[in-house]
Amino acid sequence: MRYKTTIPAILLIGWIATVSAESDPLPSWKDGPAKESITAFVTGVTGADGPNFVPPAQRIAVFDNDGTLWVEQPIYTQLAFVLDRIEELAPEHPEWQDEQPFRAALEGNMNVLGDAGMEGLMQLLMATHSGMTSDRFEMIVSDWLGAAQHPRFARPYTELVYEPMIELLAYLRANAFKTFIVSGGGADFVRPWAESVYGIPPEQVIGSQIALRFELQDGKPVIVRESEIAFIDDKAGKPVGIQRHIGRRPILAFGNSDGDLQMLQWTTAGPGPRLGLILHHDDAEREYAYDRESHIGKLDKALDLAPENNWVVVSTKDAWSRVFSWAP
């Protein structure tokens, strides 16, 4: 007997699509080894009767930011912020026209800036990040992010977060993980927007720190940013930052460069179930392709060490069905 349906075909198709999306917490991830390693790990550590069960309090997941959660090419986003700030402040500092590395920053000369090294970068950071209250700096960062656009994609930087990673963060939190950002960039640069973009509150952002001091200004208490670096949260600094800030060894770490090597080592060397993941940028068409020879987000030693440490190398080309939420 043939039954006549009362559901319009278009509604039925939409219902099927909704059910499919709800049943797959990682819809922007292609079926394959990377996705399977993540879901198998989460299933294992959350199975109360299984041998790999991990209590919720110990389900700590740490993520690098630049190149892992959002775009870091052609230059780090915070460096783009620094360069725009130098240009904005230049009228107050005519001496910068002849003084390096400020002249190179104003001219956009990346070669000279590269030659200036960490010392030159620190000069630029101190000129643009210090001498103001913490509230003032947060406002400057928020205003810049609201106006600045990426040179290739012509979109705000906060729209250049990776949709598969947003899904992964949500999937982990739905399974009682606590997610942290562990960034080589400044913690105070990331904190103003991390919660609205990633769902990660400011107290769960670990990053490089500038020296701070408390004082009274016009009778009101403020925190002032000083011209001194207090802590660099990169490479070997990342496990130190994690221990200082969290006090627990994570069970999952996700990075994309040699700057994350020690964080991956520290996380996966612990007892019990562990998962280390490395995002490998190999999709020049949809985003960028870079690794061993890149000056930004160099991935060399960590890539070599991945097999022996059982770290999962996640290919952006092969593992992701889309990169950004607005992309096809």
Question: Three-state DSSP class for 276?
Answer: strand
pLDDT, averaged across the chain: 92
Residue predicted with more confidence, 246 or 112: 246
- Checking if the pLDDT of 17 tops 80, the result is no
Superfamily of domain 28-74+155-319 in CATH is HAD superfamily/HAD-like (3.40.50.1000)
Q: Name the phi and psi angles at 277, rounded to 5.
A: -130, 145
Query: CB-based contacts of 33: which residues, under 8 Å, 6+ apart?
Result: 312
pLDDT confidence of residue 111: 85
Please state, in angstroms and rounded to a whole number, the distance separating the CA atoms of residues 189 and 199: 16
HSE of 314 in the Cβ direction (CA atoms, 13 Å)? 28
- pLDDT higher than 80, residue 3: no
- The mean-pLDDT minimum among 2-16, 23-37, 234-248 falls in 2-16
pLDDT tens for each residue of 185-233: 999 999 999 999 999 999 999 999 999 999 999 999 999 999 999 999 9
Question: pTM here?
Answer: 0.91
